[in-house]
């Protein structure tokens, strides 16, 4: 232990004996040498360093050492500047009778050792006792620090392992729920997401995935609707999307807003209202002017509300330009045009189908079926809107599009004769009279073999009459 001894020059011999006693076992380093400085001279920097670096300031109390203006009082002021309170740092030892009132209050703040026998021996014993207390005091914070570090490390390790476990659980839950949602089992996927988000509320990936699943559920709800009506699903999903939209930014916020508009549209189909989905679509486009969902859903809404078809086409063109979720845009585009139930919408649906064929885009099976029943069957067999659709039929590409939509080897057996009749009609309309006549003949022969009669047979005979060249008489 480093010990600084402050004393009056009259106790020089006592101080020297004390130094020797303290340094006898080699455990202490005692600073006692002090240059005799003239009054008013600057203190030696060595003196300052000795006080600043000591572990114990030992003050030999005597009338001379406590006298104002002495070197000992100056040293005591340095010690007081270092330690606000002397306890544990300063050991006053009475070496000469001194009036209590003359002793500085700083020294009187601790118990002053008043030796009853040998001053050196008792002072050395007091230093040993103080050192033990200091050692314990120094050791305790060290052990406490070790304990704190251990506890913190243990807690951190526990939290780390718990975090790793939570991350693993969240990842597994995410994969399972996402697979369910992508497979079309949206309701079960939503239940799983709700369970895991409640269990792991800080798992941001789970929350984002649940929002994605909710938006997908709304987009595909018409494909899986069963005993529930639209509002039953919307009421479960919409609060999650609305909460997310409040803090989302950019394209993510626009996606959420667009689906909120779509949710309102679905609810309006259940009779809820008055609702204005277009307000959400407009807000989405304010956030992201090229947002695929806002444009596609708004285009659909224009057609459903009997708006201008050119406005709807403009929105769908913008949605396609976004190059996101193109399959959804096409499905919604065809659905909107067929929902219109007017020749202009059907012509546009045929144009879209032809565009998809040229781009080798996949056709949704449901849309393929709707085109069969709502366009080809109604126009070519039921003769509904046939004249209005004539411009579309005259395009030679119409034959290729029909064959692309309904490859011959994939046509249902009960539709085979209808398929041939439709194809023959398109061939005739496009100007390929020879191919059309041959195909109508095949249809006639099949109907005759089956003994079938009715409108299809009548129309076949009428087509052959148109396509059969008149007999040339000599």
In whole angstroms, give the CA distance from residue 420 to residue 129: 114
pLDDT, position 461: 93
The tens digit of pLDDT for each residue in 64-118 reads 999 987 888 888 988 998 998 998 899 999 999 999 889 999 999 888 999 888 8
pLDDT above 80 (res 145):
no
Residue 155 in domain: no
Kindly indicate the confidence band of residue 159, based on its pLDDT and cuts at 50, 70 and 90: very low
3 contacts 58 by C-beta, under 8 angstroms: yes
pLDDT, position 44: 63
pLDDT, position 89: 92
Residue 41 in domain: yes
Share the mean pLDDT of the chain. 85
In whole angstroms, give the CA distance from residue 75 to residue 54: 12
In whole angstroms, give the CA distance from residue 380 to residue 402: 12
Ordered alpha helix ranges (H), 225-276: 230-247, 250-269
Which of the pair, 448 or 137, is modelled with greater confidence? 448
Residue 447 in domain: no
Q: Which residues pair with 92 in a beta bridge?
A: 59
pLDDT, position 128: 87
Kindly indicate the confidence band of residue 169, based on its pLDDT and cuts at 50, 70 and 90: low
Kindly indicate the confidence band of residue 137, based on its pLDDT and cuts at 50, 70 and 90: low
Kindly indicate the confidence band of residue 271, based on its pLDDT and cuts at 50, 70 and 90: confident
Residue identified by tokens 């919408």 is 345
Say whether 387 sits in a helix, a strand or coil.
coil
| Structure tokens, 237 | 């999903």
Give the side-chain half-sphere CA count within 13 A for 452.
Answer: 17
What contacts 24+ positions apart, CB below 8 Å, involve 219-223?
219/259, 219/262, 219/328, 220/184, 220/186, 221/186, 221/266, 223/184, 223/366
With 0.85 as the threshold, say if the pTM is over it.
no
pLDDT above 50 (res 160):
no
Residue 42 in domain: yes
| Number of domains forming the structure of the chain | 1
Residue 24 in domain: yes
- Mean local confidence (pLDDT), 252-263: 96
Q: Which of these ranges, 199-203, 338-342, 382-386, has the smallest mean pLDDT?
A: 382-386
Which of the pair, 250 or 382, is modelled with greater confidence? 250
Angstrom distances, CA of residue 10 to CA of 7, 76, 90, 95, 206:
8, 17, 21, 11, 82
Query: Nearest 5 degrees, angle CA 106-CA 107-CA 113?
Result: 160
Domain range for residue 62? 2-114
In whole angstroms, give the CA distance from residue 402 to residue 375: 11
Residue 179 in domain: no
299 contacts 278 by C-beta, under 8 angstroms: no
**In CATH, what number is assigned to the domain containing residue 22?**
3.40.50.10140
| Closest by CA position to 234, among listed 201, 207, 270 | 270
Residue 327 in domain: no
Residue 21 in domain: yes
pLDDT, position 439: 94
- Mean local confidence (pLDDT), 143-159: 44
| Closest by CA position to 87, among listed 133, 54, 39 | 133
Most confident of 315-319, 367-371, 375-379: 315-319
SS (H, E, C) 54-90: CCEEEEEECCCCCCCCCHHHHHHHHHHHHCCCCCCCE
């Amino acid at each position: 232990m480093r010990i600084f001894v402050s004393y009056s020059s009259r106790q020089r011999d006592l101080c020297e004996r004390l130094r020797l006693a303290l340094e006898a076992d080699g455990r202490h380093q005692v600073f006692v040498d002090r240059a005799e400085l003239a009054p008013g001279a600057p203190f030696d920097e060595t003196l300052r360093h000795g006080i600043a670096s000591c572990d114990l300031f030992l003050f030999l109390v005597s009338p001379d050492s406590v006298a104002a203006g002495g070197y000992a009082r100056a040293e005591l002021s340095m010690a007081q500047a270092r330690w606000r309170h002397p306890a544990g740092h300063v050991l006053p030892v009475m070496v000469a009778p001194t009036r209590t009132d003359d002793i500085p209050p700083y020294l009187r703040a601790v118990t002053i050792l008043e030796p009853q026998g040998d001053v050196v021996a008792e002072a050395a014993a007091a230093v040993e006792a103080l050192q033990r207390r200091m050692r314990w005091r120094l050791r305790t914070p060290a052990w406490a620090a070790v304990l704190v570090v251990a506890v913190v490390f243990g807690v951190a390790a526990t939290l780390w392992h718990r975090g790793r476990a939570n991350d693993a659980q969240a990842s597994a839950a995410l994969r399972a729920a996402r697979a369910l949602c992508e497979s079309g089992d949206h309701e079960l996927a939503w239940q799983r997401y709700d369970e895991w988000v409640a269990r792991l509320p800080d798992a941001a990936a789970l929350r984002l995935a649940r929002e994605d699943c909710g938006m997908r559920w709304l987009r595909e709800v018409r494909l899986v609707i069963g005993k529930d009506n639209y509002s039953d699903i919307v009421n479960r999903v919409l609060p999650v999307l609305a909460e997310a939209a409040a803090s989302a930014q950019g394209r993510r916020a626009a996606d959420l807003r667009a689906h909120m508009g779509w949710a309102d549209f679905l609810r309006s189909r259940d009779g809820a209202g008055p609702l204005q989905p277009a307000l959400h679509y407009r807000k989405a486009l304010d956030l992201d002017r090229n947002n695929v969902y806002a444009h596609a859903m708004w285009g659909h809404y224009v057609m459903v509300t009997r708006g201008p078809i050119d406005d709807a086409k403009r929105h769908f063109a913008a949605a396609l330009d976004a190059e996101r979720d193109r399959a959804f845009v096409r499905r919604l585009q065809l659905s909107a045009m067929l929902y219109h139930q007017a020749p202009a919408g059907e012509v546009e649906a045929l144009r879209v189908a032809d565009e998809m064929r040229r781009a080798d885009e996949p056709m949704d099976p449901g849309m393929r079926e709707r085109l069969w029943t709502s366009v080809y069957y109604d126009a070519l067999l039921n003769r509904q809107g046939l004249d209005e659709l004539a411009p579309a039929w005259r395009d030679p590409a119409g034959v290729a599009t029909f064959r692309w939509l309904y490859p011959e080897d994939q046509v249902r057996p009960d539709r085979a004769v209808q398929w041939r009749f439709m194809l023959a009609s398109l061939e005739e309309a496009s100007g390929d009279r020879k191919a059309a006549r041959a195909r109508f003949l095949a249809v006639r022969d099949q109907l005759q073999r089956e003994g079938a009669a009715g409108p299809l047979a009548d129309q076949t005979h009428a087509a052959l009459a148109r396509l059969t060249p008149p007999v040339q008489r000599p």
